[in-house]
Amino acid sequence: MKKRITFLIVIVAALLFMTSCNHLLSTFVRFQNNSATKTVWPIWDGGQAATLAPGQITEYQEINPGMHTIKWQNAANGKDLTTMAWPNAVEGEYYTFPYGD
């Protein structure tokens, strides 16, 4: 009986450890508009990630670790505000990508 209880405690501890460390395997990104006048689009991996009015910030979104692309566009006319960048997202990290004039 004592061996069974010890075994169950070990199994429960292992499951708790695995689920609590799961966030370390994920990577998260959010976007922030620091412009005082422009509404902008963060273009993440070729797709529009959000529409951000001046001063807005998105919630964190889970992404895959590795190389990505980002640029910012003016929401009023679709013109590029920045050139393409290639951030390398590291597993378990949180990133905030700001746009500013």
Q: Give the pLDDT band of residue 25 (cuts 50, 70, 90).
A: confident
89 within 8 A of 71, measured Cβ to Cβ: no
10 has pLDDT over 90:
no
Q: Is the pTM of this model over 0.85?
A: no
Q: Give the pLDDT band of residue 57 (cuts 50, 70, 90).
A: very high
Alpha helices (H) in 21-100, listed in sequence order: none
97 has pLDDT over 70:
yes
CA distance 23 to 16: 13
CA distance 91 to 34: 26
* Residue carrying the six token digits 């910030």: 57
Question: Six-digit token pair at 65?
Answer: 């670790």
Question: Six-digit token pair at 42?
Answer: 């963060």
Alpha-carbon dihedral sign for residues 60, 63, 67, 72: negative
* Domains of the chain listed by start with CATH number: 27-99 (2.60.40.780)
Question: Six-digit token pair at 16?
Answer: 């708790």
